[in-house]
Amino acid sequence: MDYHFDEPVDRKNTDSIKWDAAEADVLPMWVADMDFKAAPAIVEALQNRVAHGVFGYTQTPQRFYDAIVSWWHKRHGFTLQPHWLLPVTGVIPALSATIQALTAPGDKILVQPPVYNHFFMSISNSGRQVVENPLHFQGGHYQIAFDDLEAKAADPAVTLLLLSNPHNPVGRVWTAEELRRIGDICARHGVVVVSDEIHSDLVFGNHKHTPFASLEQEHSLRTVTISSPSKTFNLAGLQVAYLFSEREDFRKRIQEVFNTREMALLTPFAIEALIAAYEQGDDWLEALKTYLTGNLAHLTAFCATHLPHIAVVPLQATYLVWLDCRAVITSTAAFADKLRRQEKLWLNPGTLYGQAGEGFLRINIACPRSLLNDGLSRLVRGFRLADQP
């Protein structure tokens, strides 16, 4: 079936944060939000729910939990139990609630920069301290600095690690062995692992996502997993996510935070969208991954020809490409600002994800190829002006 990923969708004047938060002539390729229409099954499910005409308080039905359980078994070979699940309106609220439930004010929390910027915010907003275990970048590839992780996890004040799995923004799919080493270190020092697996369905080539919770019980009993269909199926505006943990005491403590923070129930539209996505979205997702693979190949070939000084960091997962621009720019934030002002191209500077991102840019390739070509042309012009005031 043709899902028309090549057809541009006019998203301006729809109150889109991506498209309406800047000047009308700016091409936004910054936030992790795809420019494709949702899978037809999702649209149909929402239309059917709207046609009912009554939108009162809604409980989360058993079929919501069953859809999640089935999806993880089908896509990742992992069997979780329905009672392990807690629905929530988003990954960020889930992150913050988990931090507040499982740590104390003033505790130290590990992150592995360059990493999702909201990790830093969720930690500081919760009154905890950030401890960085920067990834090691060598030979064009990112690796975990295990010796540094061991040393920092040994601090008794460090109680939790926020893991990006797969990693945003560098696009790494952590292997089972890498995750096991993380788990071993954290188990030795009593550190809980919170695994953000929102990008787990967008893994390419021969790479395979390993749920952290699928590891041996010594690790699975020390973890909380947070995920959502919002990246996979472009549903961020519907505000639907979930977390799961084998540990009943973890779930109870997190649920208590949900209650005291009076966190909202899921809307009927969020519920129907997730069920439709997970029950009927496989074909659409496979077509999407094929299209994204083509976009990545196109970008890589374009950069090799027109931007040879830019290195495309190998992308194993996500639709967010990490560009190594260190050979030509010294201040990523200043260049990204100039790119937006002069070439009307909005990319995220690497420093948004910590100082370890200096010299890098993040570009979203989940768009029709015509938009990708437009963005790449603007990027070429931007680098020609890189040394000009």
**In degrees to the nearest 10, what's the CA dihedral of 251, 256, 262, 268?**
30
d(CA 254, CA 160): 14
pLDDT tens digits, 188-202: 999 999 999 999 999
Query: What's the residue count for the chain?
Result: 389
Predicted confidence at residue 263, as pLDDT, reads 86
Question: Can you give the pTM of this predicted structure?
Answer: 0.97
Domain extents for the chain?
17-40+281-383, 54-279
Burial of residue 12 (CB within 10 Å: 0-12, 13-18, 19+) is exposed
Angle between helices 332-342 and 369-384 (to 10 degrees): 110
Averaged over successive runs of 10 residues, the pLDDT of the chain (389 residues) comes to: 96 97 96 98 99 97 99 98 98 98 99 99 98 97 99 99 99 99 98 99 98 97 98 98 99 97 92 99 99 99 98 99 96 97 98 98 99 99 74
220 vs 259: CA distance, rounded Å? 25
DSSP designation for 266: P
CATH number of 54-279: 3.40.640.10
- Give whole-number Cα distances, 32 to 23, 64, 247, 253, in Å: 19, 25, 31, 30
Q: Which class for 248: exposed (0-12), middle (13-18), buried (19 or more C-beta within 10 A)? A: exposed
For 17-40+281-383, the fitting CATH number among 3.40.50.300, 3.90.1150.10, 3.30.420.40, 1.20.1290.10 is 3.90.1150.10
Q: What is the pLDDT of residues 372-389, one digit of tens each?
A: 999 999 999 999 876 544
| Residue in the structure block whose two tokens are 């309106």 | 89
List pLDDT tens digits, range 62-86: 999 999 999 999 999 999 999 999 9
Q: What are phi and psi of 317, to 5 degrees?
A: -160, 160
